[in-house]
């Protein structure tokens, strides 16, 4: 496959499954054309872990924030700590934040309050957001539509991305209508994911991102193994097929989109 430039816009490279081979994983990413990787945090500890890796590797950038499943003890102090982390020069987003009604790890009202507070932080800092949405699509878009109605000019055209998009077509339409990008992960390559592919082929080329969500959601043909940034090429290949463009064209679209959204 041609080695054109790609950006993995969502990989948890700080997770323990990569502890023994960061150098090798990053080298394989380079060999596949992936020269920039964004690590999203899920809590304060992973904010620090991601920033440590960003200091070690030129190609790594970071999103800081508290994942909805980590919000049980969310407080003003937590928000202040995220704000402090965001001062780092390689922080390019607030995330991953959002709502998760699949896991019962944090009450819905606490999830929503922490979500709204972190969105306001993103607006204050003029940083786009990386959104986690699992079985909470309507509430997620309700919150985002309210937030997007009063953004600073610098964010109106680049508010954020719905990460690992897997929702219904109407949710895609609502997200696109308020300026959001949609990120696609390994499931787009799965045999039984035709509904997801049907949505993906309707997304404008200037609003698509590719991401691994490593170490999770490994694409075909490596499904069942640890995911890693090099595999973002398989999502790019599938999206190129769906949009009837060349691999090189899709790589350029997704890379340009990531650069524009995250001001890389």
Domain boundaries, the chain: 6-262
Find the farthest-apart pair of alpha carbons in the chain and give their distance in angstroms, rounded.
49
Contact 113, 143 (CB under 8 A): no
The dihedral of CA 167, 129, 223, 47: what is its sign? negative
- Of the chain, the percentage scoring pLDDT greater than 90 comes to 98
Q: Is the pLDDT of residue 237 over 70?
A: yes
Q: In this predicted model, what pLDDT tens digit does every residue of 69-118 receive, in sequence order?
A: 999 999 999 999 999 999 999 999 999 999 999 998 999 999 999 999 99
Q: Is the pLDDT of residue 262 over 60?
A: yes
Q: Is the pLDDT of residue 1 over 90?
A: no
Residue 242 dihedral angles phi and psi, to the nearest 5°: -65, -35
Contact 236, 184 (CB under 8 A): no
Contact 14, 39 (CB under 8 A): yes
Q: Is the pLDDT of residue 136 over 60?
A: yes
State whether CATH 3.20.20.140 applies to domain 6-262: yes
pLDDT value at position 248? 97
Q: Is the pLDDT of residue 189 over 70?
A: yes
Q: In this predicted model, what pLDDT tens digit does every residue of 4-24 receive, in sequence order?
A: 899 999 999 999 999 999 999
Count CA within 13 A, CB hemisphere, residue 257.
Answer: 27
- Give DSSP secondary structure letters for 192-252: T-HHHHHHHTTS-GGGEEE---BTSSPPTTSTTS---GGGHHHHHHHHHHHHT--HHHHHH
Mean pLDDT across 122-145: 98
Q: In this predicted model, what pLDDT tens digit does every residue of 40-68 receive, in sequence order?
A: 999 999 999 999 999 999 999 999 999 99
- The span from the CA of 129 to the CA of 64, in Å, is 9
pLDDT value at position 88? 98
Q: Is the pLDDT of residue 247 over 80?
A: yes
Mean pLDDT across 193-202: 97
pLDDT value at position 2? 54
Q: Is the pLDDT of residue 234 over 60?
A: yes
Contact 62, 51 (CB under 8 A): yes
How high is the mean pLDDT of the chain?
97
């Amino acid at each position: 496959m041609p080695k054109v430039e790609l950006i993995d816009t969502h990989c948890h490279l700080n997770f323990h499954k990569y502890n023994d081979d960061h150098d090798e994983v990053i080298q394989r990413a380079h060999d596949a054309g992936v020269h920039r990787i964004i690590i999203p945090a899920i809590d304060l500890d992973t904010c620090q872990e991601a920033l440590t890796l960003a200091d070690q590797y030129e190609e790594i950038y970071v999103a800081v924030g508290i994942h909805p499943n980590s919000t049980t003890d969310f407080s003003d102090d937590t928000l202040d700590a995220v704000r402090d982390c965001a001062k780092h020069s390689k922080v390019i987003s607030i995330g991953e934040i959002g709502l998760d009604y699949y896991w019962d790890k944090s009450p819905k009202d606490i999830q929503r309050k922490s979500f709204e507070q972190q969105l306001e932080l993103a607006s204050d800092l003029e940083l786009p957001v990386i959104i986690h949405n699992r079985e909470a699509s309507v509430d997620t878009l309700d919150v985002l539509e309210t937030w997007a109605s009063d953004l600073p000019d610098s964010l109106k055209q680049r508010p954020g991305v719905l990460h690992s998009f897997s929702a219904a077509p109407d949710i895609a339409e609502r997200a696109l209508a308020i300026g959001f990008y949609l990120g696609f992960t390994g499931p787009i390559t799965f045999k039984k994911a035709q509904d997801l592919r049907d949505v993906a082929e309707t997304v404008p080329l200037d609003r698509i991102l590719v991401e691994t969500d490593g170490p999770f959601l490994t694409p075909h043909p490596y499904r069942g193994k640890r995911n890693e940034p090099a595999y973002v090429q398989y999502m790019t290949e599938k999206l190129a097929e769906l949009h009837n463009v060349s691999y090189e064209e899709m790589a350029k679209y997704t890379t340009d989109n990531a650069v524009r959204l995250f001001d890389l």
